[in-house]
Structure 1
């Protein structure tokens, strides 16, 4: 009896505490502690770089990115050894990393010194530290001295911690990264319209990247460098997006936009389901090797709206203007430059910055970017990709010396179900954006990128429309209250390059069973996905290359002269080099793919960024019924498997019963 009972107890306990097999490990990523490398950021400290040094500095800053990525790969390969001897990481990883960074920093200083004043103090930024972050905490990875996203930002309460799983890639997300949207109080405010303001809107319809154009490049931040972003981007609009695209390449490219006069570049980090699916980038840079794992989700709907200014008329954007909004390193830097907003259809009067939303049944996830809408009037880029543009103040006014331009508002809708936090996403998978490894897939790190390649005549039309208070542009008249009421059109039948004007509204209900997003191999050049059906002519005026435009391009041809790009946004300053003040920021080595300007407090996430007012979306009755991306992969731990694992307990039960019968008969015979 004692032996049988013991066998029952031991086997039941062991089965109850098993992880469920290898697939369970893949799906939930039971990693409660992941080492994280923190290094002071070099790029953000260079507020001015001479034009002649820009190419060399960009190349070395990208090299710093590659060094940190290689260090993470080494961490992964040496995990067992480091677990046995934590001190070995300093000798084998951190110290060699410092030596490599010192050499790159030296070359940066040399390049700048050849063109102007040699910067001082850069050598102090070479050292890095290795830290262990508690994945169950979700906030402990931020270094001392840097702000972290508020656990209760926007008045929302964090959900149950659940299992504290570290995500499929082992570096997030965690349960604390999600909030129930119904528990968030309405928090959207808009500046009051004033006489002389511009109230019109202009829409551009460019599809949802159904043709699967991805790469981990960043032509704005790291021109000429493969995998400069270290995470995958979705691209719509311009079809020649890669690190090596020159200004002329962008001008001559095909576009997925309905109006062929818009060849602009729109891109953002992909959203993935942590469901164990092996995408083609699973073992490639920018993907699985850097902790970005799982199924890439194709958006259900993307709207691109250019809005006016409540206090003044807007002026034309300069051709090839580059804007990056949000902060890809906000988890380490603090939320000062964070600018992405998360919400749910039907609840867009409440927005989250540092949480992913848990949407109720029938509601879809909404991701919104409101770009900077004030321009310094002179530069199309700046050394840190921030200071040539700014956000308007809460009252709608631009900073002194800046002028209002049309504000790009990107609204991206995903048909993904609220994940099952109680079991770490085993039943319904977690979702999260791609990120740098040490940013742990936090929603506050989300960001969007834009390069203006509008035909100049179309840009004038946009400005006239906005300033006159009208609604114009492709798809402007095809935005009914219910997007789901549009006729269904399979995404694989529509041309990925030249969709008709109504394609944008049809795509929300397009079947996603083909899952085109998972097909293109990682790093596929953007030009390979373009078709030969391009019928639009190139813009009337070819872009002239501005010195130091940050695109790594050669000279353009003819046309109207573009604004000169200076190293600093202030037109009163010369091309001299200096470092911004303040202490060393403990930050990863990745380049500042975090290009929102300082002082973005005025740019609070607002639901007014959407093309349709909150509550007008009417999603399908079942959020995941027709969207296979939301269906989790099968995981182990079902009833049949449990029975198979518990056969020793059954045998122990028989022993226990036989012992009881034997004891009863023995006592009876004794009497």
Structure 2
């Protein structure tokens, strides 16, 4: 008896059946590859541990050095202690990208610095609020929370939106948050304007081509080794995400329609593009104590499926003009300062 496959009113024989089975198997193979490939728009992965390609051993990441300073470079630094969000200031808002829209981020952010930041914050409300920064800086710094996936709870999302958008599991409290401003390797820096908005990274990098992706995953004790993928760290070394912000300002605006064109990143070698001016380079490093082998998932938009390349962060400068002037003087003089305390460098 011949077994065929029906198509309309025609019956196709064994050869066609074999080809059809092969086609189905090929489609399934392609689907599986899509699940495992970072940036895939296919089905969600079950966490980095079950998705090879979404994580990498830090010892396999090649180190990259910062460009050496040129004569006349601004080689100083300014650091401040704003805590590690011990008060669990979290919400699913984004006052920079979606002002006035409650839960507009569709994923939860961790905050340090300004105590009042939410979707409805204004320059005036931020300037009047308290801060977690010991030096009195009222600036706001925020980024998506990191979770151990599993369970149904929102894990600290005060707005209750995280679980509905696919962000579930236990939120990992940062083990430490380091905030520092540094100079430009080719020249002096100028002050940031108060209320300057800065964005780093791309929350939609998994689906928009990733042109603005700047996620930098790493491990403590492995300087210069940064990856777009989650990094697996040896025992005793904490997982880190390094958040480097643009430091070339157009000299005019505190924000722009795309939230990027008013402040851009330096070109190769560290110089700023024509028509822009170097401002203090903000770097935030967040460390997490993650036991080896534990899967992690960055909060994200639902369609981004926790892709590690979607790491991003935002900043609003609420420093007083006088404090910003101190920061710039410290950096341009080659000193190393910490929230009002100066560490001499030996320079005259």
TM-score, structure 2 as length reference: 0.84
Name the CA distance, whole Å, in 2 between partners of 1:283 and 1:239: 14
Structure with the higher helix share, 1 or 2: 1
2-side partners of 1:213 and 1:185: how far apart?
Answer: 35
Match of residue 191, structure 2, among 316, 321, 326: 316
1:213 aligns with 2:86: no
Task: Look up the match of 1:248.
Answer: 124
How many angstroms apart in 1 are the aligned matches of 2:39 and 2:76? 44
Q: Does 1:137 align with 2:36?
A: yes
Equivalence for 2:109 = 233
Deviations 1:26-82 (A, max 9, x none): xxxxxxxxxxxxxxxxxxxxxxxxxxxxxxxxxxxxxxxxxxxxxxxxxxxxxxxxx
Contact 2:36 2:45 in 1 (8 A): no
| Preserved contact between residue 103 and residue 159 of structure 2 (Cα < 8 Å) | no
In our comparison, the structure showing a higher alpha carbon Rg is 1
Aligned residues: CA RMSD: 2.4
Match of 2:147 among 256, 266, 272: 272
> What is the deviation of 1:282?
7.7
SS class of match (1:136) = helix
* Corresponding position of 1:468: 333
Query: Match of 1:251, SS?
Result: helix
Structure 1 contact 230–285 (Cα < 8 Å) conserved: no
Separation (CA, whole Å) in 1 of partners of 2:331 and 2:239 = 28
Judging changes above 3 Å, is the alpha-carbon distance between structure 1 residues 444 and 133 closer, same or farther for their aligned structure 2 residues? same
Question: C-alpha distance in 2, partners of 1:406/1:287?
Answer: 34
* SS of corresponding position for 2:110: strand
Match status 1:178 vs 2:55:
yes
May I ask how many residue pairs the two structures share in their alignment? Answer: 313
Q: What is the aligned partner in structure 1 of residue 74 from structure 2?
A: 198
1:339 and 2:238 correspond: no
**What is the aligned partner in structure 2 of residue 653 from structure 1?**
none
Alignment of 1:384-533 (within 5 A): 384-419=258-293, 428=294, 430-474=295-339
Tell me by how many angstroms 1:195 deviates. 1.3
Q: Does the 8 Å CA contact 1:283/1:289 hold for their aligned counterparts? A: no
Distance 2:76 2:236 in 1: 31
Q: CA deviation at 1:336?
A: 1.7
CA-CA distance at 1:467 after TM superposition? 0.2
| Change over 3 Å in CA distance of 1:134–1:229 after alignment to 2 | farther
Partner residue in 2 for 1:305: 180
Q: Give the equivalent residue in structure 2 for 1:327.
A: 202
Pick the structure with more strand per residue: 2
Secondary structure of the structure 2 residue equivalent to 1:393: coil
Deviation string for 1:389-433 (max 9, x for gaps)?
0111111111111000000000111110232xxxxxxxx4x1121
The answer to whether 1:167 aligns with 2:46 is yes
Decide whether the 8 Å contact of 1:135 with 1:166 is kept in 2: no
1:650-661 equivalent positions in 2, closer than 5 A? none
Compared CA separation, residues 410 and 179, structure 1 to 2 (3 A): same
Task: Tell me how far apart the structure 1 counterparts of residues 185 and 102 of structure 2 sit (CA, whole Å).
Answer: 41
Paired residue for 2:162?
A: 287
The residue number in structure 2 matching 1:535 is none
Q: What's 1:70 paired with? A: none
Q: CA deviation at 1:335?
A: 2.5
CA offsets 1:255-275 (integer angstroms, 9 cap, x no match): 000011x10010000011114
Q: 1:272-317: per-residue Cα shift (whole Å, max 9, x none)?
A: 1114373456896531100000001111111100000011100000
- Cα deviation for residue 173 of structure 1 reads 7.7
Find the partner of 1:368 among 242, 251, 254. Answer: 242
Alpha-carbon deviation of 1:361? Answer: 0.8
Change (3 A) 1:363 1:184: same
User: TM-score, normalization: structure 1?
Assistant: 0.45
In structure 2, C-alpha distance between the alignment counterparts of 1:347 and 1:414, rounded to whole Å: 15
